[in-house]
Structure 1
Amino acid sequence: MAVPAYSELMLPLLQYASDGKEHHIRDAVQPIAEYLELSEEDLNEFIGNGSETKFAYRLRWAKTYLKKAGLIEATGRGLFRITQRGRDVLATSPTRITNDMLMQFPEFVEFKTGSARKTVDNHKESITESQPPKELIRSLHAEINRDLADELLEYIMGVSPAFFEKLVIDLLLAMGYGGALSNAGQTIGRSGDGGIDGYIQEDKLGLSMIYVQAKRWGAGNNVQRPAVQAFVGSLMGVGATKGVFITTSHFSQGAREYADSIPNLKVVLIDGTQLTQLMIEHNVGVSAEQTFVIKRIDTDYFELS
C-alpha cells in the first residue's frame, strides 16, 4: 500500500499511546508501520532533501495534530503521552480520526485558524471554499510555523539558564542591535546581578545600552508585576533608560500595565509566543529546510517581441 496520509495515522498513533506510557515519536515508527503492513519500499520513500522518510514525516504531523487537539500531551523533546481527552475519544471506538472531528476542540481551532475566536462552523465553511494556490501555500506555511514555534519552545525549556541568557542576546544581535561589534552584546553570567542578565549596545557606536532580563519559566507561571518592578529598579540603579524583559511564559495584565506606565524609561516585554516568532523570523535556533520559489511571467521580456 502507499504511505498513508497523516490523517489516516492519527488513530493508530493514539491507539499506540493508549497504554498511558511516555513514548518518543521515533519509537512509534516501526510498530505502527508493522501494524499497517507497510512495505520496505513505502518505508524508504523520502521527502524533500532526503533527510526524513515520508512515513516518519507524516507520523510526526499526526502527532502534532493530536497534541494540538489535546488528545496527547508533550512531556519532553519528542516525547508524548495520551491524555484523558484522548482516552475519552478512544472510548467512542472511532473508525478514524479526522480534522473535522478535532475541530470540536477549541485548542485545535486556534491552531488551524490562528485565532480561538473563530467558530468551528466558520472554519468548516472556509475550508470548503476553493482557495487560490498561493493563498493555500501561505495558510499552510503559517500552520507549519505555528507548529515550529511550539517545538522551538520545548527546546528552549530544555536548555540551561545560562544558555537561555545567551540565546536572548543572540536574538537581539540577529535583530540588528549592536551592529558588527564583537562585544556588542554580553551576558552577565553571575548570581546577584540585581535582575539584569545581560546587555546589548543599541547602535554601532555603543552610544546607548539596552539591558536584558531573561526568565525561563514554564507555562502557567506568568511573570507578575513585582518581577517587572524589580527589573525597573535594577535599570534605575545603573542609570539605564531602556530594558527588555523576555520570558518563555507570559506576562500578567498588571505587569504589562506597569511597564507601559513608567515615565522616562522604556521597558519592552516579550513573552514566549513573541520570542519564538522572533527567533523564526531572524533564524535563531532554526534553519531553512526547504525553499519553494513561485515564478510568474516576465512581461518585460516579451515586450520586445
Structure 2
Amino acid sequence: MELPKYHETFMPILEILNTVKVISSRELARKVRDNYYSELPKELLDKKTSSGANVLIDRILWGKSYLKMGKFVSYPKRGVVQLADKGKQTLISGKLLLSDLQNDPDFISHRSAVQSKKDEIKMETIDVDNSSPQDLIDNGFSTIETEVKTELLDKLKEIDPYFFEKVILILLKKMGYGDFIETSKSGDGGIDGIINEDKLGLEKIYTQAKRYTENKVREKDIRNFIGAMSGDTTKGVFITTSTFDEAAIKKAREAHHSIILIDGSKLVNLMHQYNVGVQVKITYEVKELDNDFFEGE
C-alpha cells in the first residue's frame, strides 16, 4: 500500500465538496483523508515531509490547488473552498485524470498567465527512477513557484484598484528607486504615481497601473498615458495585470518617450523576486561533502 499521488485526490476532493456549501481548506483535507484513506497503515498516515508537514494532507492540498487552477473549485474568500459548476459536471462524468487536467483549456490558460513568452508550460509526471535528486528538487521548486505566482496574479486582479496602484509603487521602491508620490485619485490625468529614478529625486518616472481581469491594454491607453506626462518627464512605466495588444506595444516602442510595459506575467515575476506580496515559508539546506575538511587527515 502507498499514499495517493496528489492527482489521485482530485475526485475525492470534488466528492467531499459536493456534500458541503463551503469548507476550510484544512477541514477539506481532513475529510478527504478520513473518508477515503483511513484504511491506510498508520505509518503512512503519519508520514511527514522533511519540513514536518503531513505528506497525505500536503498532497490533498496540492490537489485542491490544481483543481482551482482548472476552475473545478473556487475560493469564495480567504481560506475556504467550494465546488464550482465545472466541478459538478466532472462529478457527473465520474473521472478526472492528470492528463485531463493537463489538457484542460482553463488550466493551461491559468498557468500560462504567469509564464514569460519565452517559456513553455511543462507539467509532466516526473520519472523518479530516471531523474537525479537535483532534477527532482528543481522541478519541485519550479512547480511551487508557478503555483505561488498564479495565486499572486489572481489576488492582484481581486484587490481594490487604488491599493493595486500602491502595490506597484512599493514594488518599484523595493527595486531600488527613490521615494514615490501617490497622485490624487481625482483629476490625475492618467498618472497613478511618481517615483524618483534616483535617491535625490533629480529624475522623475511616471507610473500608470491598470488592474484588468481580462481586458487588454490598448493603444489608446498608452497614448493617454504619454499625453498625461505633459512634458514633465520623458520616462514612464505602464503596468497591468493582463496584457498589451500589439497596437499598444507598437505605440510604446515608437514613442519619443521611454515607456516600459510590464504585463501580468512580468509583474508577478518581479514581485516574487523582490518579495512583495509573498513571504518565505520554508528554507531548505542541501549539504555536500566538504573535501577540504579531510585533506589534512
Classify 1:34/1:293 alpha carbon distance in 2 versus 1 (closer, same or farther; 3 Å). Answer: closer
How many Å apart are 1:198 and its aligned residue? 0.6
Partner Cα separation in structure 1 for residue 184 and residue 49 of structure 2? 42
Classify 1:79/1:274 alpha carbon distance in 2 versus 1 (closer, same or farther; 3 Å). Answer: farther
Q: Which moved more, 1:145-154 or 1:75-84?
A: 75-84
Say which of 182, 201, 220 aligns to 1:206. 201
Partner Cα separation in structure 2 for residue 143 and residue 8 of structure 1? 17
Q: Does 1:226 align with 2:220?
A: yes
5+ residue gaps in structure 1? 179-183
SS state at 2:130 partner: coil
Partner Cα separation in structure 1 for residue 20 and residue 259 of structure 2? 45
Partner Cα separation in structure 2 for residue 42 and residue 159 of structure 1? 40
How many Å apart are 1:119 and its aligned residue? 8.8
TM-score (norm 1): 0.79
Partner Cα separation in structure 1 for residue 215 and residue 295 of structure 2? 62
Residue in structure 1 matched with residue 59 of structure 2 by the alignment: 58
Partner Cα separation in structure 2 for residue 82 and residue 64 of structure 1? 13
Residue in structure 2 matched with residue 296 of structure 1 by the alignment: 288
Classify 1:133/1:46 alpha carbon distance in 2 versus 1 (closer, same or farther; 3 Å). Answer: closer
Contact 2:128 2:136 in 1 (8 A): no
Aligned-residue sequence identity (percent) comes to 33
Contact 1:77 1:155 in 2 (8 A): no
How many Å apart are 1:23 and its aligned residue? 5.6
Contact 1:69 1:107 in 2 (8 A): yes
How many Å apart are 1:270 and its aligned residue? 0.9
SS state at 1:268 partner: strand
Say which of 251, 259, 265 aligns to 1:267. 259
Q: Does 1:177 align with 2:177?
A: yes
Contact 1:48 1:290 in 2 (8 A): no
Residue in structure 1 matched with residue 94 of structure 2 by the alignment: 93
CA RMSD across the alignment: 3.5
Contact 1:3 1:38 in 2 (8 A): no
Classify 1:27/1:138 alpha carbon distance in 2 versus 1 (closer, same or farther; 3 Å). Answer: same
Say which of 234, 242, 260 aligns to 2:235. 242
> What is the one-letter code of the residue matched to 1:213?
Q
Deviations 1:109-131 (A, max 9, x none): 6849x6896799xx56x747722
SS state at 2:279 partner: coil
SS state at 2:260 partner: strand
Deviations 1:232-257 (A, max 9, x none): 1112x042111111111111121111
Partner Cα separation in structure 2 for residue 90 and residue 41 of structure 1? 31
TM-score (norm 2): 0.81
Number of equivalences: 290
Partner Cα separation in structure 2 for residue 285 and residue 135 of structure 1? 28
Residue in structure 1 matched with residue 163 of structure 2 by the alignment: 163
Partner Cα separation in structure 2 for residue 282 and residue 117 of structure 1? 23
Contact 1:162 1:189 in 2 (8 A): no
How many Å apart are 1:147 and its aligned residue? 0.8
SS state at 1:176 partner: coil
Partner Cα separation in structure 2 for residue 193 and residue 202 of structure 1? 20
Residue in structure 1 matched with residue 185 of structure 2 by the alignment: 190
Say which of 277, 281, 298 aligns to 2:269. 277
How many Å apart are 1:230 and its aligned residue? 0.5
SS state at 1:243 partner: strand
